[in-house]
Amino acid sequence: MAVVLVIAVVAALLVWSANRGEEGAGTPSGPPGAAFYEVTAQQLSADRHGSLIWSRRVVDGPTIGGTTHVVMYRSTSAKGEPVAVSGVVSVPTGDPPEGGWPVISWGHGTTGMADDCAPSRSLVDQQTGVYTASMDQTTADLVDDGYAVVRTDYEGLGTPGPHPYLMGQSAGAAMTDIVLAAHELSSNLSARWVAMGHSQGGQAALFTSRFTDAYSPGLELRGIVALAPPSQLGAVVEMTGSSTVLGASEKEKAAAAEAGSGAAFLGPLIVSAARTSEVPVEDLVSPAGLKLLPQLETRCIAELFAQDSFGGMTLDDFVRDGADLSRIRRTVGTNDAAEVHPHVPVLIVQGTQDTTVPMMLSDRLVEQYTKQGADVEYARVPGADHISMLRESAPTVNAWVSGALAG
């Protein structure tokens, strides 16, 4: 009888343990596979933003000497409504330093708008792309250096619903809320954290400045690193189909012109801004452009650049003749990094040979922040393009982050 009782107790403990995200967290373990990303309205409304819905330990995660979980947590959508967002949390093993492991919230660059393009899916479905593999290695290096690293997928990537591409408000909230969620998963994390991101993620990192104080109580954002962040988006969009940009300075017009006329990045931005503004997409997008929209839910970034996709169309051809883009101007402006007023130190890094996010955009952004009186440093990486600047700027970035988190 005693043996049976012991077996029953052990079995109960094993079940209890399996339904916890991390020792001491008490977080339910999420279902395996694609079901991990399916959350009910009741589960979403059960708690506030920044709280965990569930998590799952990743046995073969992207860390060396660390522990990685895929997580589902609550955040705030582009429309200011509750939304479930997925991501990855990696924590070093061993004893944390006094005060806990400092946290880096990493914002990934553009991977696409389809659910399969979510970086965390590579850990669930084992479909790792080149860019995601690079992020995994970056995460491993940072964890080895003694940082906990959290990586949001952003709203609508992996999870149901459209991804509000380049809507900085949503992405900034997602980058902040996953830090809150990580503290629920592990008690060994410091309140000190840095937001760091590349390209789309650089824009997202800058928006974390809007989600401090009452939004994220108990956290201390110590700095922001924006690597090739897109900006001046309002000027770029309003310049489409017109030779003038209302209200823009000559420098903003020049920066907008240098951003190019391709639809691969700016087409999805217009679609996302229209959806966020509740403007019918067909009012802004041409018939030829509308035929491409289903690809946003089936293709990732490399495929979207193909000639049979957004990469084969100019932005002027993507936009409907006579479309009134002023209907989305306010939404685009609100979500433009140029409209952020950072209140923490900022490091902007830019490759001089970047053709995806031209250097003129970052030049202009630094001028705008400096004029505001922001604490901003600017590091140009000579000869580097949009991708190579990540590797070549690493020593500068690492030293800056270490300084920001010190103390």
CA atoms within 13 A on the CB side of 79: 14
Per-residue confidence band for 267, with pLDDT thresholds at 50, 70 and 90? very high
Residues 124, 3: Cα–Cα separation, whole Å: 38
The answer, yes or no, to whether residue 53 has pLDDT greater than 70, is yes
Q: Are residues 248 and 287 in the same domain?
A: yes
**φ and ψ at 337, to 5 degrees?**
-60, -25
Q: What is the pLDDT of residue 11?
A: 38
Q: Are residues 244 and 307 in the same domain?
A: yes
The answer, yes or no, to whether residue 91 has pLDDT greater than 90, is yes
The domain tally of the chain equals 2
Could you read off the pLDDT of 306-318 as tens digits, one per residue? 999 999 999 889 9
**Would you say residue 87 lies in a domain?**
yes
226: alpha, beta or left, given left = phi > 0 and alpha = psi -120 to 50?
beta
Q: Are residues 204 and 274 in the same domain?
A: no
- The separation between the first and the last C-alpha atoms of the chain, rounded to the nearest angstrom, is 57
Q: What are the C-alpha distances in Å from 116 to residues 72, 217, 249?
A: 16, 33, 40
Among the candidates 334, 357, 388, a domain finishes at: 334
Q: Which residue has the tokens 């979500």?
A: 335
Among the candidates 334, 359, 387, a domain finishes at: 334
Beta bridge partners of 105: 150, 195
Range of the domain at 311: 235-334
**Would you say residue 324 lies in a domain?**
yes
**Averaged pLDDT, 87-113:** 95
Q: Are residues 73 and 58 in the same domain?
A: yes
Contact (CB, 8 A) for 330 and 139: no
**Would you say residue 52 lies in a domain?**
yes
Q: Are residues 245 and 329 in the same domain?
A: yes
Residue 78, domain CATH: 3.40.50.1820
The answer, yes or no, to whether residue 194 has pLDDT greater than 50, is yes
Pairing label, strands 52-58, 66-76: antiparallel
Q: Are residues 226 and 257 in the same domain?
A: no
Q: Are residues 151 and 86 in the same domain?
A: yes
Among the candidates 334, 354, 383, a domain finishes at: 334
Question: Hey, what are 54's tokens?
Answer: 């569930």
The answer, yes or no, to whether residue 33 has pLDDT greater than 90, is no
Contact (CB, 8 A) for 29 and 56: yes
Q: Are residues 131 and 214 in the same domain?
A: yes
Question: Hey, what are 324's tokens?
Answer: 């009134």
**Averaged pLDDT, 265-291:** 95
Beta bridge partners of 220: 192
Q: Are residues 129 and 156 in the same domain?
A: yes
Q: What is the pLDDT of residue 24?
A: 38
Q: Are residues 57 and 107 in the same domain?
A: yes
**Would you say residue 22 lies in a domain?**
no
Q: Are residues 155 and 44 in the same domain?
A: yes
Q: Are residues 321 and 387 in the same domain?
A: no
**Would you say residue 4 lies in a domain?**
no
